[in-house]
Amino acid sequence: MSKLTGVSLSPNAPLDRRNTFRVSVRAAWLAEIRDATAIPEVLALTRVKNLPFMVLGEGSNVLFTRDFDGLMFAMTNRGIEILEDDGRSARVRAQAGEDWHGLVRWSLAQGLCGLENLSLIPGTVGAAPIQNIGAYGAELSETLETVEAYDREAGKFMRLNREQCGFSYRQSVFKQQPDRWIITAIESRLRRNAPLKLDYAGVREELAAMNVSAPTAKDVSKAVCRLRRRKLPDPAVIGNAGSFFKNPVVLSGQADELRAAHPDLPIFKAPDGKKLSAAWLIEQCGWKGFREGDAAVSDKHALVLVNHGRATGGQIWSLAQRIRDSVREKFGIRLEPEPRIL
């Protein structure tokens, strides 16, 4: 173990409890960072400075197909605070090691809204900007103002505004350059009164089932949690990383052609065309509930790949590739994975 202040450094570290697929792999070195100011000192250590590098949050958006022969960073710094509050909105800073859903619950308890549709998304605060997490009609980029990060290329801490983060659908500069950035905190602008996002499929229906006619942000959060728990398997019960494939975005003309051939195909508006339901495409290819050994497709949701116990990352990835190939063959659509594949 290292004697560095604010850091625990461990060799040959098991990662089976640090990824939600519960894949049994190890990291050559694992650095748990409780104090972000220690980052440069850790990176300069002779024993690790020339090794491959990656940052791991809760491992809810990664699939390991092998051991990681390098330095793994886990940000465990904690803290949430209101930096300024004018009565109408507040600027909230949360450190990277905080639990994402914990931040959502904290914000609602302060009377702040904007994150309620992102309730119950697994992972840490630091991982959220990488994927520009989104759900039920909302995206992180709509409320985020600043990302604090260490730039390994420049060798210094940086503050990036929303535009510099390069956000788009499930995309950011942090995802495009995963070896460069170590996110240490985020700042979001949350309002005390804001229009609620209720138009995504299932939200209004769930609120009605809850007998809520005049919903608050807390009600929306509760509805989203109910929907997610009903549709998606719990990683604490069965290994998974949530939605494995992105919903593909295609040109409007291609979407119209597919709708003509498949009238039941769900299609949604997107900035650059039309968004298709990846779950529907996969289910039409017969994969929902498919199991081969311990690698399987959830019988609850066709978009979720699961590990029933002893599946390797390679077996799960092989299944994912077969699903992708069958969708391309049937519909001419190439699906892209959401998790980072190692």
Taking only the tens place, the pLDDT of each residue in 181-226 is: 999 999 999 999 989 999 988 999 999 999 999 999 999 999 999 9
Q: Which of 18, 22, 93, 170 is catalytic?
A: 170
Q: Are 103 and 143 in contact (CB under 8 A)?
A: no
Candidate list 32, 58, 116, 338, residue with the active-site label: 338
Backbone angles phi, psi at 315, to 5 degrees: -70, -40
Average pLDDT, the chain: 94
SS3 14: strand
Verify whether residue 152 is a known catalytic residue.
no
Listed range (226-240, 273-287, 320-334) with the worst mean pLDDT: 226-240
Query: Does residue 91 register a pLDDT over 60?
Result: yes
Residue ranges of the alpha helices (H) in the chain? 39-43, 100-109, 128-131, 173-176, 203-209, 217-231, 252-261, 278-284, 313-331
Confidence band for 112, pLDDT divided at 50, 70 and 90: very high
Answer for the pair 288, 338: CB distance below 8 angstroms, yes or no.
Answer: no
Q: Which pLDDT score, from 0 to 100, does residue 1 have?
A: 42
Bridge partners of 149, per DSSP, are: 158, 183
- Which residues on neighbouring strands pair with residue 160, listed in sequence order? 147
* Averaged pLDDT, 235-262: 92
**CA dist., res. 115 & res. 111, Å (int):** 11
338 is catalytic: yes
Q: How confident is the model at residue 4 (pLDDT cuts 50, 70, 90)?
A: confident
Q: How confident is residue 169, by pLDDT bands cut at 50, 70 and 90?
A: confident
Active site (annotated) includes residue 243: yes
Measured CA to CA, the distance from residue 30 to residue 42 in angstroms comes to 11
For residue 2, is pLDDT > 50? no
Domains of the chain: 7-75 (3.30.43.10), 81-191 (3.30.465.10), 239-341 (3.90.78.10)
- Exactly one of 60, 172, 188, 243 is catalytic; which is it? 243
Percent of the chain past pLDDT 70, that is, above it, reads 99
Asked if pLDDT for residue 3 goes beyond 90, the answer is no
CA 77 to chain centre: 19
Which band of pLDDT confidence, cut at 50, 70 and 90, is reported for residue 271?
Answer: confident
